[in-house]
Every structure is written in C-alpha cells, then in structure tokens.
Copies of this chain bind each other. A is one copy, B any other.
Amino acid sequence: MIRKQRLFTPGPTALHPAVQEAAARPILHHRTDEFREIFRHSALGLKKFLKTEGDVLILACSGTGAMEAALVNVLSPGEAMLALVAGAFGQRWVDIGRAHGMDVRTLEAPWGDAVPPGRVAEALDRDPTVRAVFVQLSESSTGARYDIEALARITRQRPGTLLVVDAISGAGAMALDTQAWGVDVVVVGSQKALALPPGLAFVALGPRAWERAEAALAPRFYFDLRRERKAQAGGEPGFTPAISLVVALRSALAFVEDLGGVDALVQNAGTLAAMTRAAAGALGLPLVAPKDHGDALTALYPPGSIDSAAIVKGLKSEFGSTVAGGQGALKGRILRVAHLGYYDTTDTLGLLGTLEIVLQRLGHRFPPGAGVAAAEAEYLKRQAGR
C-alpha cells in the first residue's frame, strides 16, 4: 500500500505548499534592498501574528536558542527567577537559568496540569526579589495550557517582575494577546503554527523587557537583542540570516492572513483539538491534560494495557503517519498528536481512522467508527456554534 509520509508531530509540522515553494527559490543576498524589504515585511507580519506593536526580532536559531536569548537579555547572573514546571519545557527554563548562573526557583505541578496563577501570585508575594517568571503558553510535553492572561495580570502589578512566555508551540494555536495582556517577552519557533521548516525563532519584547535588556549583565553576543534591535530596524539582522526561511516566512504569514488572520488559525487548531479529544474519549484513551488541556496538541495515554510505543509504531509503519511519543517523565508512556499549523479536518479524520485500525490490530475493543463519529459530532457542534 502507498504510505504518504505525514507529520502529526507538534513541530516540525506539515509545511504549507506556498512555504515549500518559497523556500526552494534561488537564494537572495541579504545585504540588498530586495531582502531588506522582505525582512521588514515579515517582521511587521509577526507583530500582527503576536498582537503587539513592540519589536519582534527574527533570529537564526531553534526555539531553545530564542528561549536562551530571552533569558540572558532580562536577567543578570545571580538574580532570582521563577520557572513554572509541569513538563519537559518548563524544566528547560530551569536548565537555561542554571547554565547562566541564575538563582532558579520553581513552582511545580504534576505533569499534565498547569501551575495555577494563584500559586504564582502567592510565591511572588512571598518573594518579591524574583526578577522574572518563566512559563509556557503550551507545555508541549503534556499538551497542557497555562493561563497566560492571568499570569500577566499578576506580573503587570509587580514593577520588578517580568513575564517571559515560551509560546513556541502555542502561538497561532491558542489565544495570545501579547500587548493587551501585557506579556513582557514572547518566544516563538518557525516549525510550529507558522508551518515553516525549523531554523528561525522570533522574540517579541515589550517596553519593560527592553529596559531590562539595557541593564542586564548576563554575558551574550549572538543573542544580544540590543544589537539585533538596532540592526533589524534597518531591515538586516546582525549576522547572516537564514535567508530562504525568511523568504518562506513571508509566504507563511500571507497564508495566515488569507485564512483570516491568527484568530482563524487558532480556531482551526481549536476545532481539530476538540475533535481529537472527543475521539479519544469515545475510544477510551485518557487525556494527559484533562483539566488544563490546550489546543496546540493532544497528549493521550494508551487504553488499557496497550503499549503507547506500539501505537506510534503502527501508525508510522502501516500508514506513514508520525505522531510523537512522550518526553522526559512521560517517555514511552503517551502519544502526542499535533493540531498547530497546517492541518485540516480531512487530515484529522484520516489520522483518527487509521488510529482506529491500529487500536483494533492491538486488540483494543471499541465500536469501530466510534472515534471518528465523535470527532464528526464535535466538528458539527463547533461549526454550528460559530
């Protein structure tokens, strides 16, 4: 049988064809008016994407690189930072902070939950020396969502405390109103909802963050956002940009605009996520984040005594579809299905149909078609509600 290779992973995601075409064009030189025009246009588009009038810088690095850039530009060595940890990516903030000699405090929650904003407010009341709170919009290892709006309300009231959000997999899949909510720093990756290849990352800084960047003493060179801000205002990053990806970024942003803007992309992911959760319920696959689930991806436990790795393997070997397994504490215990980016209803129903076949092969008992039927019902309900 033909097996088209499909990625249902929360990054890299499926590429939009216009992105693919743009990335394959002949290379431009970056010190030209033509490139500067594309670069500026893309930077403007990213502001709309993140709903901010502040600077959004384009970096040639992975999402983790941009997390590091965010951290070293708002803290000085030895300063207190608070990381909210309920998954592998929360832990990454801890690791980066420690690597740079920060005084790292954590608030933890069981994987699958999000640390509640109330606990964060209490912690900051107890310890006003915390210079910044670090969190995810979407914790990709569990699919959980943090309430960024509530967290920003808390940090906004504290002049000495910034909010730094890793929205790498969350932006474009879940609501994020950077400026209106008062988020100080947002980090995004290219291979997520924007349906680009990996290699670019974006950092948005608000006024409080820029103030901090001027004073922060953490050693930095490539990730010195003060220099980048100046250089990029002229349409050129400080160092050689990932030229083809920047060209493709313009196409990705055009795709988002054509769809109806970032809200439409968020609604798309929300519908596909709701369909997947409904199917999981009908098929008896428990959600990893039943209470705090986000829409960028859905993390699922396998049913009964079935091995999650066997499901991941079956989808790949029999149908060419790649879903992600677990990370860190959940390694080998779950599967994760992406909704962020360039996925549609047909993709999702097709994946759920093949998941039903794999589950039947593995001996799981359920009424065949039940997952797809639940997804169809959820789709119809959501569309009727609009």
Q: How far is the CB of A327 from chain B (nearest CB, A)?
A: 25
| Most chain B CB within a 10 A radius of its CB, from A351, A353, A367, A376 | A353
Distance of A266 from chain B, by nearest CB (Å): 11
Closest to A321 in B: B346
Interface residues as binary, A345-363 with B (CB distance below 8 Å gives 1, 0 otherwise): 1111111111011001100
A320 proximity list for chain B (CB < 8 A): 344, 346
Determine how close the nearest CB of chain B comes to the CB of A358; give it in whole angstroms.
10
Bound form: Cα–Cα A32–B347 in Å: 43
Instruction: Let me know if B376 and A344 touch, CB within 8 A.
Output: no
Nearest Cβ in chain B — how far from A48, in angstroms?
Answer: 18
Interface readout for A1-25 with B: 1 if CB under 8 Å, 0 if not? 1111010000000000000000010
Task: Find out whether the CB atom of A346 lies under 8 angstroms from the CB atom of B354.
Answer: yes
- Residues in A341-386 with C-beta less than 8 Å from chain B: 342-354, 356-357, 360-361, 367-377, 379-380
Quick check: is A268 within 8 A (CB to CB) of the other chain? yes
Residues 236-295 of A at the B interface (beta carbon under 8 Å): 259, 264-265, 267-268, 271
**A223 interfacial contact with B, CB 8 Å:** no
Say which residue of B2, B321, B343, B369 sits within 8 Å of A370 (CB atoms): B369
Chain B minimum-CB-distance residue to A315: B346
Q: A301 in the interface, Cβ–Cβ < 8 Å?
A: no
CA distance A353 to B353 in the complex (A): 8
B376 touches A367 (CB 8 A): no
A49 at the interface (CB under 8 A from B): no
Determine the chain B residues whose CB is within 8 A of the CB of A357 once the complex forms. Answer: 345, 376, 379-380
A210 contacts B by Cβ under 8 Å: no
Is A202 on the interface with B (CB-CB < 8 A)? no
Residue of B nearest to A354 (CB): B346
0 or 1 for each of A83-97: is its CB under 8 Å from B? (1 = yes): 000000000000000
Would you list 12 pairs from A and B whose C-beta atoms are within 8 A, ordered by A residue? A2-B259, A2-B344, A24-B24, A319-B346, A345-B354, A346-B350, A347-B350, A352-B353, A356-B373, A361-B380, A368-B369, A369-B369
The 9 closest A-B pairs by CB, nearest first: A350-B350, A369-B373, A369-B369, A349-B353, A346-B350, A368-B373, A2-B344, A372-B372, A349-B350
